[in-house]
Every structure is written in structure tokens, then in C-alpha cells.
Amino acid sequence: MPAPDLPAVFVLNGPNLNLLGTREPDIYGSDTLDDIAGRLEDRARELDLAIDMRQSNHEGHLVDWLHEAQASGAKAVLLNAGAFTHTSVALHDAIKAIRTPVIEVHLSNPHAREAFRHKSYVGMAARGTIAGFGAESYLLALEAAAGL
């Protein structure tokens, strides 16, 4: 849970991201989600922000957490929806339903991959997208969130 005196940035991660570090490292890199969380927390402190990092393999959890981000007054949400990016109208609608800015994040560049990854329901609703820079994508998205 983020520090109560600092603006929070929710970092929401979807299916299979719990396997980072071992899942297809040639595509997703060797950093684990915990590695990424540590770097985000370090940078967030420098930016006077708090990180609330979460991961679920269940679409409904991500929807609930988007609602919670708004209800708690979060500054922004960084969302790596994983495969739900390309399939979830529910996430699209949840993003559209809240005022909290959402930044779509991807480790790889979906447009350089299989054709089915080229459509992003999340991206259609998000404030912006950062993709293709590996774990650095999260840090770039945090910088963008800090500037909002």
C-alpha cells in the first residue's frame, strides 16, 4: 500500500506477468516483476510519488483496481494488461469510466509481433502508450505520470 502522504500511482499488471524473468526472456527480458517494482519504488521516491504495484491473472481484479484507483484519488495508473490488452472490452470500458489517467505499458512492442497483438482495446481508452523498451517502459511511464 502506498504512503498516505504521497500521491499514488497504481501499477496494474495482468495475466502471466507474474512469470516475468522466466517467461520467454528473449521477448520480455530477465527482470522479474519484483525487480521492476523495486526500480519503480526507487524512482517514485525521487518524484515524491508512491507506488501501489499489483498483479492478477483475472480480468475482474484489474477492473476493480481501476475503479479503486479513482476512488482513492490516485494520480495515475500504469497498466500492463498483458493479453487482455487485445481482448478486453471490459478494461476499455473501465478506463473510459474513470477520470484517473491511465498509461498503457508493454515490455515488448506489440506492433512488431503477431498481427493479433496489433489491436489494443486498452490503448483505445488510455491517455497514452509506452512500449518496446523492456522494463524501462515502466520507468518511462512513471515519468509521464509524474508530469500529468
Residues designated as active site? 28, 106
Entry field: residues in the chain: 148
CB 78 within 8 A of CB 97: no
Please count the other Cβ atoms lying within 10 Å of the Cβ belonging to residue 52: 19
Per-residue cell: 53: 504495484
Q: What is the dihedral of CA 31, 32, 34, 40, to 10 degrees?
A: 40
Name the percent of the chain in helix, strand, coil, to the closest 5: 45, 20, 35
Q: What distance lies between CA 14 and its chain's CA centroid?
A: 8
